[in-house]
Amino acid sequence: MPSAALKLGVTNALTLKKPSKNNPLPTIVLYVNDQAEILGALGEAEYLSRAEALIDGANFKGGLGEHVSDYALHAKDLPAITLIGVGKLDKLGANIAKVAANTYAAIKGAPKAALLWGDVICHKHFTQFVLALQAASYRFDHHKSSSADVDALKEVILVNNRDELAAYETALSFAIATDKGISAARDVANEAPNVLTPSELAKKAKHLSKAYANKISVTVLGEKEMQKMGMGCFLAVSQGSDEEGKMAVIEYYGKTGKASKKARLSDPIALVGKGLTFDSGGISIKPSAGMEEMKFDMGGAASILGTITAIAEANLPIDVVAILACAENMPSARATRPGDVVTAMNGMSVEVLNTDAEGRLVLCDALCYVQENYKPKAIIDTATLTGACVIALGSVRSGLYSNDEDLLFALEAASEFTNDLVWHMPLDDGYDEQLKSKVADMQNIGGREAGSVTAACFLKRFIKDNQAWAHLDIAGTAWKSGSTASATGRPVALLTQYLRSQADN
Ligand code: BES
Ligand code: MN
Ligand code: ZN
């Protein structure tokens, strides 16, 4: 079971009712800058004097990461007060996600909290703040027989002192829809690879057509169908596994409506996700240390699944087609060997020199399929594609490649708005030269240099002339690596915001 999300609301007037069992007093949270000034509290409130006494008594400096509480133990009808330091105001924009995470950590023991932001959170920061607060409450614990450390916090009220409540309500409901998509992506990506097989991942897609029956339809292609269509690159990856490879095709009719079975998407935007439910490397097997993290190699597909969930929740008036390329990369007697030559759906031949460069092989057939069967306005693929991208950009920014300026700018704008950051990377022909093969149209790897770029160049070879396309290498951002490895849900926030910006146009 996914963990229950926080209940969130906005108001511009905080009236504290007498507490009861079902309606406990909220903890009042006030924000303090590095000048020890309280930001944006509602002027008339009597807890201001308690807050000021707390600042003096605790010698509270208001630095980022500082917090202090007054639990009002001796007067039970008074709310607890928590002060959160936000540091320098001119850095608040960059620190907003940290402030949200600090807030959650400071108040998670109370059932309910009222966050007094006044007019400090502008519209932009509001979305980032809400998403970061929700992210902090996320848990993936359904494989644990007892969940010992469940947080008490269930409900958060965001309080401002402006009249623009309607704008905040709109922003909040969009952020809640986005969070549903992010959490869905995290739940799928965190799942164990023996549970989340390619078939199970495709089933998650199928489930969307039940949850949102009036606007989503899903078709799942199996290996036989892919064989008929000539998807030799995709099949070269999945043939070594006992688990059947699947291609899930999701149609979201936000603009057209799914009035009849014959409904056709109009000017859809296409999303394509790499869905390797486990990437052992195949015959070019990976070293064993950390190999378990290759269960996250379906993070691209998870992000597309999450994005469709988010736009369906938000009811975005836009048409979208999404492809999840779901496969498992395993070594076996039937597995692809280094040296094998295979042919993609568009007739291009590929010499497989390294079976661990499998993401580009499943993606190229998915890209062919979506261009063959739809006329997408733009195609965006997301993939945990290369270790080289992790070396280049780490876990802060995803690598963004594109052949189209409008698409690039729109994605960068959505990225800034959501703080789901990207960095524009090159696609020059000089890099593409590394893909020349002695025996086929191309080989599936370049040399040692610029591995994330050559992977993107490989994909670009399957994009038709004049087709707007962008590729996000999320190898460093889709999950947080290490002892507490966990999926991040990136770049669901970015993609959802991008689609929202396109729905407005
Ligand atoms: N899924 C991996 C990329 C990856 C590696 C993501 C580490 C996150 C962390 C991908 O399929 C892969 O193995 N790529 C190879 C490509 C190489 C063989 C050209 C890589 O990056 O080493
Ligand atoms: Mn690989
Ligand atoms: Zn991979």
Q: How confident is the model at residue 1 (pLDDT cuts 50, 70, 90)?
A: very low
Q: Same domain for 191 and 155?
A: no
Query: Percentage helix, strand, coil, to 5, in the chain?
Result: 35, 20, 45
Do residues 201 and 248 make contact, with C-beta atoms less than 8 angstroms apart? yes
Q: Which ligand 1 atom sits nearest the alpha carbon of residue 286?
A: 13
Q: Specify if 105 maps to a domain.
A: yes
Q: Same domain for 153 and 231?
A: no
Q: Specify if 169 maps to a domain.
A: no
* Cα(393) to centroid(ligand 2), Å: 18
Residue numbers of the domain that contains 245: 179-504
Residue 2 pLDDT exceeds 60: no
Residue 439 buriedness (CB in 10 A; 0-12 / 13-18 / 19+): exposed
Given the residues 88, 154, 203, 286, select the one marked as catalytic.
286
Q: Specify if 171 maps to a domain.
A: no
* Residue with CA nearest ligand 1 atom 6: 475
At 487, is the secondary structure helix, strand, or coil? strand
Given the residues 295, 360, 397, 500, select the one marked as catalytic.
360
Task: Give the distance from CA 108 to its chain's centroid.
Answer: 24
pTM over 0.95: yes
Q: Same domain for 184 and 126?
A: no
Q: Same domain for 297 and 429?
A: yes
* Residue with CA nearest ligand 1 atom 5: 387
Q: Specify if 363 maps to a domain.
A: yes
pLDDT at 293: 98
Q: Specify if 387 maps to a domain.
A: yes
* Cα(442) to centroid(ligand 3), Å: 19
Boundary-marking domain end, from 128, 160, 192: 160
Q: Does ligand 1 lie within 6 Å of residue 390's CB atom?
A: yes
User: What's the average model confidence in pLDDT over 375-384?
Assistant: 98
Q: Specify if 173 maps to a domain.
A: no
Q: Same domain for 347 and 248?
A: yes
User: pLDDT, tens digit, for every residue of 104-140?
Assistant: 999 999 999 999 987 677 666 899 999 999 999 999 9
Structure tokens at 386: 């290369």
User: pLDDT, tens digit, for every residue of 288-346?
Assistant: 999 999 999 999 999 999 999 999 999 999 999 999 999 999 999 999 999 999 999 99
Q: Tell me how far apart the alpha carbons of residues 368 and 443 are, in angstroms, rounded to a whole number.
A: 18
* Residue with CA nearest ligand 1 atom 22: 387
Q: Does ligand 1 lie within 6 Å of residue 475's CB atom?
A: yes
Confirm whether 360 is a catalytic residue.
yes
SS (H, E, C) 354-375: CCCCCHHHHHHHHHHHHHHHCC
Radius of gyration of the chain from its Cα atoms, rounded to whole angstroms: 24
User: What's the average model confidence in pLDDT over 425-450?
Assistant: 98
DSSP 456-472: HHHHHTTSPTT--EEEE
Residue owning tokens 């007060």: 81
Do residues 81 and 30 make contact, with C-beta atoms less than 8 angstroms apart? yes
Q: Specify if 1 maps to a domain.
A: no
Q: Tell me how far apart the alpha carbons of residues 212 and 206 are, in angstroms, rounded to a whole number.
A: 10
Task: Give the distance from CA 223 to its chain's centroid.
Answer: 28
Q: Same domain for 294 and 351?
A: yes
Q: Same domain for 240 and 110?
A: no
Q: Tell me how far apart the alpha carbons of residues 98 and 359 are, in angstroms, rounded to a whole number.
A: 33
Confirm whether 139 is a catalytic residue.
no
Q: Specify if 193 maps to a domain.
A: yes
pLDDT at 505: 62
* CATH number (domain holding residue 91): 3.40.220.10
SS (H, E, C) 175-241: HHHHHHHHHHHHHHHHCCCCCCCHHHHHHHHHHHHHHCCCCEEEEEECHHHHHHCCCHHHHHHHCCC
Residue 205 buriedness (CB in 10 A; 0-12 / 13-18 / 19+): buried
pLDDT at 146: 85
Q: Tell me how far apart the alpha carbons of residues 484 and 34 are, in angstroms, rounded to a whole number.
A: 32
Q: Same domain for 130 and 249?
A: no
Q: Tell me how far apart the alpha carbons of residues 308 and 465 are, in angstroms, rounded to a whole number.
A: 27
Annotated binding-site residue numbers for Mn(2+): 274, 279, 297, 356, 358
Q: Same domain for 21 and 121?
A: yes
Q: Tell me how far apart the alpha carbons of residues 494 and 252 are, in angstroms, rounded to a whole number.
A: 18
pLDDT at 109: 95
> Looking at the 3D structure of the chain, how many domains does it have?
2
Q: How many CB atoms lie within 10 A of CB 276?
A: 30
Boundary-marking domain end, from 132, 160, 188: 160
Q: How many CB atoms lie within 10 A of CB 466?
A: 7
Q: Same domain for 424 and 488?
A: yes
The DSSP call for residue 337 is P
| Paired residues of 341 in beta bridges | 351
Q: Same domain for 288 and 356?
A: yes
Q: Which ligand 1 atom sits nearest the alpha carbon of residue 481?
A: 9
Boundary-marking domain end, from 97, 125, 160: 160
Q: Tell me how far apart the alpha carbons of residues 210 and 404 are, in angstroms, rounded to a whole number.
A: 35
Q: Same domain for 94 and 64?
A: yes
- Indicate the top mutation candidate among 330, 351, 356 to test ligand 1's pocket, ranked by most ligand atoms within 8 A of CB: 356
* CATH number (domain holding residue 390): 3.40.630.10
Q: Which ligand 1 atom sits nearest the alpha carbon of residue 276?
A: 1
pLDDT at 261: 66
